[in-house]
Amino acid sequence: MRAGENGPRTRVASALGATRPHGALAFPLALIVAIVLADVLAPAEVHLGALLVVAPAVTASFAGPLATCAIGALAVGAQVATSLQPTPVAMENVVAHTIAITVITALVSLARHLQDQRASELGQVRRVSVAAQQAVLRPLPRRVGPLNVQSLYLAAEDHALIGGDLYAAVRTSHSTRLLIGDVMGKGITAMGDAALLLGVFREAAPRITGLGELMAYLDARVSASTAETARPEETTEFFTTAAVVEVPDAPGPALLINSGHVPALLHHGGRVLTCDTEPDPPLGLGLLGTRSFRPRAYAFDGDDVILLCTDGITEARDPDGAFFPLAQRAAEWTWANPESVVRQLRHDLQRHVRGALQDDAAVVAVQRNGAGRSDPA
């Protein structure tokens, strides 16, 4: 939005419902005309003026408060006009109908104003949360070293609460390291923890040689931060699930460490494999000195694709409460390149949940440069 764009003209247009087609106002206007004509043509003992209250009520469903008040004023005028026809209407009926139209117009206009105000506030919260999330969770480049990379962040339908899903990619002197994680919780606290983990990973990944040592360092930093910010009265454990992948520049296997995170999927040799590594506890549980991280090697050849995601994918439910069957759907995809894999995942996920995610979700797919086939889709 350009500076000065949100001025009085914009506010008035919003109140009038300018974001809707102007032709929509033709319906309540036609309704008023139809009721007046029907009242004029009806027998003398039939009075239809009370139906004019429908016009402002209908208008409030799609237009702003000013447009609703304008339609209400026209309805009042039409009510008065029908009372002046040759067959007079009892004055008490005219007054009662006029008061009813006025009161209903005022109530629905107020309700519409409050609804628009709430929508504006929610929109502002969403813009702030998106800006904060984008400042922390920068989009991954399409190419990182010898890898083609495709990332995706899907926000839940209610985006007022910032999620703790995260991902990052860092180059070392001989490899590329990728991180995907999910901080427990929502809001500013989760975003702060996510920012901490991302910052530590970006700083430490290029200089710490071993992947296990890197994961231990991340665990130590997350545990220290959790201990510093924890309140004595809190009994809930705060932790972060994470997976780290290292892909060497030279041909060779990829290394993976999974700390309580969703298992990665690997398309290798025409099959989709679940990288079911030895289970490690999540980061931040304060188990310093009592745990070690040992990476597991997976063959990662030319056409292979690794898919990483958060539990916003695997725990997404359909209207009947069934979880998204990631492994089953993945076996049906065309694993031509990271872009096609992420596109198929998004399509199947949205079909499963009918468009409304219950939780934020992050996805990263990687493949060696020049290995991808053309997408038949």
CATH number at residue 304: 3.60.40.10
Helices and strands (H and E) in the chain: how many: 10, 11
Q: Are 184 and 239 in contact (CB under 8 A)?
A: yes
Cα distances (angstroms) measured from residue 352 to each of 142, 233, 319, 322, 361: 27, 40, 8, 9, 14
Q: Hey, what amino acid is at 362?
A: A
> Per the domain annotation, does 343 fall within a domain?
yes
How many structural domains is the chain composed of? Answer: 2
Residue 226 tokens, joined: 């959790």
Residues 195 and 340 in one domain: yes
Domain end (from 103, 128, 153): 128
- Helix axes of 8-16 and 91-136: crossing angle, nearest 10 degrees: 120
Residue 147 falls inside a structural domain:
yes
Give the tens place of pLDDT for each residue, 187-229: 677 788 888 999 999 999 999 999 999 999 999 999 888 777 6
Q: Is residue 244 part of a domain?
A: yes
Strand 165-171 and strand 143-144: the pairing is unpaired
At 81, list the tokens. 């006009």
Q: Residue 9: what pLDDT?
A: 40
Return the structure tokens found at 37: 């004509």
Note whether 257 and 250 are within 8 A (CB): no
Which of 328-346 are b and which e, b meaning 16 or more Cβ less than 10 Å from the residue's Cβ? ebbeebebbbbbbbbbbbe
Do 63 and 173 reside in the same domain of the chain? Answer: no
- Whether residue 183 is found in the same domain as residue 227: yes
- Residue 288: per-residue pLDDT: 64
Instruction: Please indicate whether residue 110 or residue 39 has the higher confidence score (pLDDT).
Output: 110
DSSP for residue 236: S
Q: Give Cα 113 distance to the centre of its chain.
A: 26
The better pLDDT of the pair 78, 206 is held by 206
Bridge partner residues of 154 (DSSP): 361
Q: Does any domain span residue 373?
A: no
* Range from 129-133, 182-186, 248-252 that averages highest in pLDDT: 248-252
What three-state secondary structure class fits 183?
A: strand
Asked if 118 and 28 sit in the same domain, the reply is yes
Asked if 316 and 276 touch (Cβ cutoff 8 Å), the reply is no
Same domain membership, residue 308 and residue 172: yes
Domain endpoint, select from 86, 101, 128 = 128
Based on the domain organization, do 95 and 222 belong to the same domain?
no
pLDDT classification of 350: cutoffs 50, 70, 90: very high
Cα torsion through 171, 177, 180, 186, rounded to 10? -50
19 and 103 part of one domain = yes
Q: Does residue 205 sit in the same domain as residue 287? A: yes
For strand 175-183 and strand 240-248, is the pairing parallel, antiparallel, or unpaired? antiparallel
Write out the E strands in the chain.
143-144, 147-154, 165-171, 175-183, 240-248, 254-259, 264-268, 271-275, 296-298, 305-309, 361-368
Q: Are 341 and 309 in contact (CB under 8 A)?
A: no
148 and 115 within one domain: no
The answer to whether residue 1 sits within a structural domain is no
Q: How confident is the model at residue 364 (pLDDT cuts 50, 70, 90)?
A: very high
Q: What is the pLDDT of residues 243-284, one digit of tens each?
A: 999 999 999 999 999 999 999 999 999 999 999 767 788 998
pTM of the prediction? 0.69
Q: Pick from 74, 95, 128: which residue ends a domain?
A: 128
Same domain, residue pair 225 and 180: yes
Q: How far apart are alpha carbons 306 and 244 in whole angstroms?
A: 12
Answer yes or no: is 2 within a domain.
no
Q: In a 3-state reduction of DSSP, which class is residue 292?
A: coil
On the question of pLDDT at 12 being above 50, the answer is: no
Q: In whole angstroms, what is the distance from residue 147 CA to residue 247 CA?
A: 8
- C-alpha span between 74 and 29 (Å, rounded): 8
The residue with tokens 């309580």 is 260
Cβ pair 295, 257 in contact under 8 A: yes
The parent domain of residue 29 ranges over 8-128
Is residue 376, in this structure, part of any structural domain at all? no
Report pLDDT for 127. 78
Question: Exposed, middle or buried by CB within 10 Å (0-12, 13-18, 19+), for 286?
Answer: middle
The answer on 230 and 148 residing in a single domain is yes
Percent of the chain topping pLDDT 90: 55
Put residue 171 in one of left, alpha, beta given phi > 0 → left and psi -120 to 50 → alpha: beta
Residues 176 and 85 in one domain: no
Q: Return the structure tokens found at 34.
A: 């139809």
Domain-embedded: residue 37? yes
